[in-house]
A and B are shown apart, each in its own frame.
Chain A
Amino acid sequence: MSENNVSRRTMLRNVALAASLGGLPADAAQHVHNAAAEDKKATGVYKPKLFTPHEFTTLASLSETIIPGARAAGAAEFIDLLAAHNDELAAIFTGGIAWLDREMLRRHNTPDYVGAKPGQQTALLDLIAYRKNDSPELGPGIRFFEWARKMAADAYYTSKAGIAELGYKGNAGMTEFKIPREAIDYAMKKSELA
């Protein structure tokens, strides 16, 4: 998490250094400062704009199961924000959550998905997480799960935690572009091209 802040500071330093060699206009310097300030914007408690509290809780739980860490990365907030301004997306998620709840009722006589036992939840997810299980019965769940999965992944891997997990080191700026020798040697050796 702190890694992005470190690299942002490094970037700012490097941009400033690059600019000092060429002359960075004052308004451009201001842009860099504004960008840095954005980082510090405080975030209060999120109030869902579209989903009911039940839907929002379900989505947060489901996202976390799909991509551990997605809850803290704001997956439910992200999807709610977008669905509030896109009817097609709203229908996909409200409909999908309703399908999950109804399926839980049918299978286990539990009132909804979040109220079901973890084993009951994953038993259903193990079916709808794979296209090979497509059937008139599971089709709507499979299509909904594809949306939930890709958007949970998007939310997580564009968050600070997800970016750090992937190990992205960039957006930092350099004064001279250099690739570590060990990285080149590693790939050359492994490729057997050398």
Chain B
Amino acid sequence: MLQVIRSPNVHDVVVIGSGAGGGTVVHVLTGLGVNVTLIEAGPMLNPAKDFKEHMWPHQVGHRGAGDAAEQYFDKQQWGYFNAPNGYWDIEGEPYTTVPGTTFKWFRSRVIGGRTNHYGRISLRFADYDFKPYSTDGLGDDWPITYEDIAPYYDKAETFIGVTGTKENIRSAPDGIFQTPPDPRVHEILVKHACDGLKIPCIPSRMAMLTKPLNGRAACHYCGQCGRGCVTASNYSSSQVQIFPAMKTGRVQVITNAMARELITDGTGKVVAVSYIDKNTRTEKQVRCRSVVVAASACESARLLLNSKSARHANGLANSSGVIGRYLTDSVGFGLSGRIPALEGLPKHDSDGFGGMHMYIPWWEYAKKNKEFPRGYHVEIGGGFRMPQLGMTHGSCRRHEGYGPSLKQKIAGDYGVTVSLAGRGEMIPNQHTYCEIDPAVVDRFGIPVLRFSFRWTEHEVRQARHMQATFQEIIQKMGGTVSGLANPEREGEGISIGGTIIHELGTVRMGNDPNSSALNAYCQAHDAKNLFVADAAPFVSNPDKNPTLTITALAWRTAEYLAEELKKGNV
């Protein structure tokens, strides 16, 4: 007989998940004097030990390929030098897909989650992004407006530190910015090409510091943000929110704890969180007054769908039946080109931020009769990057041969490529969702998710628009496009669903309890002491990376929860 170990005391707030959402809730609540218990499915993070910042590839025998040459066979879960936090496949924790559809689900299992490695592009949603249905009749409007969330964008940017400039562009609302770093040479070329095409190209908005902030050092421009930063000069919830919160003594962290189910009482309130202690593979329960689910959009949906009871037969907070539906990812499409103006460029250190210094916000938002709804932004890549395994594979394949002449060609290819990557808005569709697979459980006995994913003509037309635009920009720079792919082919052209890692919308908010799971404060319509604080509540997936909005929304939810706790409403 399974013995469940229950906590003797009742915790005020249990937060499940420690990424951008969970980290922000922990930061805000502890700052307001509320005691928090944080449950994380992975281990504690130790940046000093776990980060491989500043390491050269030749400092390790396999040079980054992995002990069993995983990189050469596309079996590497995550780059060897990157922050150690994510997996496309987790042993013993599968997910399935509906036959004929493809979806890739990136999961993180560590304190800080994906914020340890993410791109840190920090874009506010625009005013019209909260009213997609009112704008073009597709999807649904959010229950909140830009004005509702703007103060929380302010708080988030002020606290985590975001670079940028005031531009007065409607698709890219200005925020509270630190001074951005200078552009790199290829970014200056892209900017000039865009000027000629009447496309805006502005300093990127990045959660990285150019000035010290709250005891965190300014960036030292090594270009390795994705490896994790030992000086915490970029934002990660682990270093910027959770570690400082732990010093307040108001947060208890339980690691290696895989949430299994939320337990409710006869009135429908959550009374405990059941989790698997992965160290002992035993089930434990923490009793709570309230719970904040921030396990990542799909993992949060899974947890709620698995929290079934007589009262909540379709899963907790799911009387509307919307949980798992309205799943979207960003539309991804990339193109690169060889730029002759960069041939022979005097060599210099162009590391800078781990990411672009300039980007292209969406520009056709006012255009009538566009060939596709909504829009995209463009990320710019290039420069003299640290040589890594695989960097010369394209040159080897293109030039063939061997010996000194091959070496000369490889050297001539270094730093002359500019890449453009579009990230655009997908419209939710009925064929794209996640649900509980009725036949499969993970190694802890927890039923797993089954995904269905489909792009529609909206997204395919958008990818074609990206291709045409990127060709124009590259040609304007005097470059030649390399490897033109068919935009419609998943993986070669338009991205495979899930691979941009902007999956969201699976526990959406709304004013109508019949068509949404959460209210305007991300509080469950069906359970007043249940909140969701990741990207699951999003009603749409605008052409801006979701993390800053996760942070702002979580901040707002946490303040509301603190107020409700004080009033005795939860």
Contacts and interface: CB of A to CB of B under 8 A. Distances in A.
Do A and B pair up? The answer is yes
B55 A35 contact: yes
B392 A22 contact: no
B342 A149 contact: no
B65 to A, nearest CB: 6
B1 interface: no
A191 B222 contact: no
A98 interface: no
B370 interface: no
Contacts of A25: 48
Given A30-B48, A86-B73, A22 B216 contact: yes
Contact of B56 (A68, A163, A187): A163
A18 B231 contact: yes
Mostly helix, strand, loop or mixed at chain B's interface?
Answer: loop
Nearest to A69: B407
A120 interface: no
Given A24-B231, A173-B221, A183-B185, A157 B72 contact: no
A78 to B, nearest CB: 6
A89 interface: yes
B139 interface: no
Contacts of A44: none
A41 to B, nearest CB: 8
A167 to B, nearest CB: 4
A156 to B, nearest CB: 8
Contacts of B55: 35, 38
B231 A193 contact: no
Contacts of A24: 217, 230-231
Contacts of A129: 400-402
Contacts of B393: 150, 153-154
Given A130-B400, A173-B220, A192-B478, A158 B63 contact: yes
Contact of A23 (B72, B215, B220, B341): B215
Interface in B288-340: 339-340
Contacts of B347: 167-169
B215 to A, nearest CB: 5
B388 to A, nearest CB: 7
Contact of A183 (B46, B181, B221, B346): B346
Interface in A1-35: 4, 8, 11, 14-15, 17-19, 21-25, 27-28, 30-32, 35
B414 A28 contact: no
A86 B400 contact: no
Nearest to A125: B402
Mostly helix, strand, loop or mixed at chain A's interface?
Answer: helix
A19 B345 contact: no
A164 to B, nearest CB: 10
Contact of B407 (A67, A86, A155, A167): A67
Most chain B CB neighbours (cut-off 10 Å) among A155, A162, A192: A162
Contacts of A130: 400-401
B403 A88 contact: no
Interface residues of A, number: 78
Interface in A152-182: 153-155, 157-160, 162-163, 165-175, 177-180, 182
Interface in A72-97: 77-78, 81-83, 85-86, 88-89
B463 interface: no
Contact of A81 (B57, B61, B411): B61
Contacts of A82: 62, 65, 68-69, 72
A157 B385 CA distance: 12
A38 B48 CA distance: 15
Using C-beta atoms within 8 Å of the partner chain, give the interface range for chain B: 35 or more
Nearest to A39: B59
Contact of B185 (A166, A168, A179): A179
Interface in A135-159: 146, 149-151, 153-155, 157-159
A31 B49 contact: yes
B192 interface: yes
B345 A78 contact: no
B407 A187 contact: no
A154 B220 CA distance: 28
Contacts of B125: none
A157 to B, nearest CB: 5
Nearest to B50: A31
Contacts of B64: 158
A130 B400 CA distance: 6
Contact of A86 (B69, B232, B390, B478): B69
A17 B233 CA distance: 13
A100 B67 CA distance: 27
B185 A28 contact: no
Given A28-B47, A67-B402, A85-B67, A171 B54 contact: yes
Nearest to A23: B215
A105 interface: no
A166 to B, nearest CB: 5
A148 B546 CA distance: 42
Nearest to A145: B402
B54 A154 contact: no
Given A32-B54, A130-B401, A131-B400, A18 B233 contact: yes
Contacts of B478: 191-193
B450 to A, nearest CB: 31
B182 interface: yes
B348 interface: yes
6 contacts: A25-B48, A28-B48, A66-B403, A151-B72, A153-B392, A166-B411
Interface of B: 46-49, 51, 53-59, 61-65, 67-69, 72-73, 181-186, 188-189, 192-193, 196, 209, 212-213, 215-224, 230-233, 339-353, 357, 384-393, 395-397, 400-404, 406-407, 410-411, 414, 476-478
Interface of A: 4, 8, 11, 14-15, 17-19, 21-25, 27-28, 30-32, 35, 38-39, 65-69, 77-78, 81-83, 85-86, 88-89, 125, 129-131, 146, 149-151, 153-155, 157-160, 162-163, 165-175, 177-180, 182-184, 186-188, 190-194
